[in-house]
Amino acid sequence: MKTKLLLLSSGFAILLFGCKKDIPQNNRIYSNDKSNYASDGILSAQVSLSPSTTPSTFIPNTANFCYGSFDLVSRTKDVVLDYFNFNAPYPRVDGIFAHPNTQQQPVSIPMSAELPPGARGNFQGDIVYQNVDSLTSPRVVTCSLKSIYYHTYQDFVNHTLIIDSASGTLPPMCLVNNLPHINFKTPNKYKVQANGTVEIVEVQLSGDTAWALTSLPVHYYFPEFSNGVYPVKIIAKVQGVKVASRAANDLHDVTLNFKTPIQHVPGSTEVIKIYAENLDVYAGCFLFTEMGDLHGLIWKDGIGGLITGNLNAQFFDLPSGLSQLYNH
């Protein structure tokens, strides 16, 4: 299989593959685990399932762009792509596929690319977002490819491929001022305190921009081949002062709500120590502790934007570490 990379301009690229693929031949949308193509019998298109498409995530002001990617397949004719027509919310989206966005929607992006018969092309481009402010953070933005204007090279007949939302909608992004950095670290050692509690994780808050933690989900469990007695309560302390507590449950997943949000100072590291009451980790065993159900994670960015649990469940994908507490 031969592959050719064609760079058209900054922020836009095409990968051409000289291979054939079984693609639907009518206007129906075909959905399965591997494809969701819209097709008119000549040209087929879908949002790319490859890593070249940025999955749903938070987009901070300091890195206000992501990548979109579409897979196109020509069937039996030589296809010349003329325009991609996008719905890109204005003014939240500044530019799409190296082309400025406009208030008039959909916005047409000139292509001037050719797909030989039986060829597949991966069309990649960046999407640039306008920075959010205190009135607009957080903001969920979704872009979609609505149609493709093209013509067949042999007879120069114009065509329009209408693309269903299931085939043309890129993953939504959530625009925020900055990101929270939360790291679950293993305590120095397994030690039962005088009050019967055991520190199970040290949660570190960091980042170059201010933010505040309102609630934190915590999931704790004995991994395979480890055992012990689960705690009855989970307690959070900052500099020795209790800031939250929650009774344990059978899911071993609790959300700690802070009456006074934990403020992160730019450039510093705040530490929340999490203790378990009446916990017993048997000798030679581990207790793992990590970020819990993201619906319980709530924080504010540096300009006061409230990022709720529902948003975190959809967009939070930052590494948060794992505490591996071992009882020697």
208-224 pLDDT, tens digit each: 999 999 999 999 999 99
What integer pLDDT is reported at residue 117 of this predicted model?
Answer: 94
From 152, 176, 200, give the residue that closes a domain. 176
User: Domain range holding 120?
Assistant: 3-176
Q: Is the same domain home to 18 and 113?
A: yes
Domain at 251, CATH number:
2.60.40
pLDDT in tens, 66-115: 999 999 999 889 999 999 999 999 999 999 999 999 999 999 999 989 99
Say yes or no to pLDDT of 26 above 70: no
Q: Is the same domain home to 240 and 116?
A: no
Q: What's the CA gap between 180 and 199, in Å, rounded?
A: 23
Q: Is 22 exposed, middle or buried (0-12, 13-18, 19+ CB in 10 A)?
A: exposed
Q: Is the same domain home to 187 and 150?
A: no
Say yes or no to pLDDT of 20 above 50: no
pTM, full prediction: 0.88
Q: Is the same domain home to 22 and 164?
A: yes
> How many domains, in total, are found in the chain?
2
What integer pLDDT is reported at residue 19 of this predicted model?
Answer: 38
Q: Is the same domain home to 226 and 115?
A: no
Reported residue count of the chain is 328
Q: Is the same domain home to 213 and 246?
A: yes
Q: Is the same domain home to 17 and 97?
A: yes
DSSP 252-299: -EEEEEEEEEEEEPTT--EEEEEEEET-EEPTTEEEEEEE--GGG-EE
